[in-house]
Amino acid sequence: MPRFSANLGFLWTDRSLPEAIRAAARAGFAAVECHWPYDEDAGEVAAALSETGLPMLGINTVRGGAGEFGLAALPGREVEARAAIEQAVAYAMAIGAQAVHVMAGKVQGPAARAVFLDNLDYACGLAGQQGITVLIEPLNQWDAPGYFLQTTDQADEVIGALGAANLKLMFDCYHVARQEGDVAVRLERLLPIIGHIQFAGVPERGAPELGDLDYNALFRTIDSLGWSRPLGAEYRPEGDTRDSLGWMTALG
């Protein structure tokens, strides 16, 4: 069965990132990931990763202004988008992160697609020089209304159009279940382009044992597909994170 990565954008948010990394290690996680670590000293984060032996699987590019979910598909914001990409790649290098999730932003239309492809091409070139993967992630229309990427088919088309070896899909079981359904079927079909898998309970985004999606069955499917990398626990705990981790025994 799979091992797990703690998404520190949602787990142990009452602590600094270095202390959250240490807490994840004590809880038995095999890896960590986060959203926007840029206010944290990269040297201290790197030291906590080294101390615990946990890999940092990925970080996100910044969201932009209030209410924005990224910049990379926004026409007219190319300078900011590329600065965000450069910031993310530099921080990833400093802490040894394996991937950068390039956030697209809330926008639609062919002009947005063209800008997104151009910025992703820039990101893949910059990240590829350092052996870093670039991830894109569809977000469901309820959590992120108007977000450029809403379906795995859309992400598949973008990845195919760009053809960069280090551009991969972040497959979040929660978002896929809410937006599209057929999570196991889509996982199997898209496996060749998936760079990371995340999960949370559906539909409330709580711990994975809460909700409609049967993670016992889904994790067995993932295991049968030969996936061996840690799965990202990106859920909102009720109360203290440590008290929400019973699923690690039940599902792991």
Active-site annotation holds for 188: no
Choosing from 44, 86, 188, 234, which is the catalytic residue?
234
What CATH superfamily classification does 4-251 receive?
Divalent-metal-dependent TIM barrel enzymes (3.20.20.150)
Q: What is the pLDDT of residues 63-101, one digit of tens each?
A: 999 889 999 999 999 999 999 999 999 999 999 999 999
Choosing from 33, 137, 188, 209, which is the catalytic residue?
137
Q: What is the pTM of this model?
A: 0.97
Active-site annotation holds for 137: yes
Cα–Cα–Cα angle for 207, 12, 50, rounded to 5 degrees:
115
C-alpha–C-alpha distance, residues 2 and 7, integer Å: 16
Four-residue CA torsion sign, 107, 176, 189, 224: positive
pLDDT at 67: 87
Backbone angles phi, psi at 102, to 5 degrees: -90, 110
Q: What is the pLDDT of residues 3-59, one digit of tens each?
A: 999 999 999 999 999 999 999 999 999 999 999 999 999 999 999 999 999 999 999
Residue 243 — pLDDT band, cuts 50, 70, 90?
A: very high
pLDDT at 24: 98
Provide, rounded to the nearest whole percent, the portion of the chain with pLDDT above 90.
96
Give the pLDDT mean for 116-121: 98
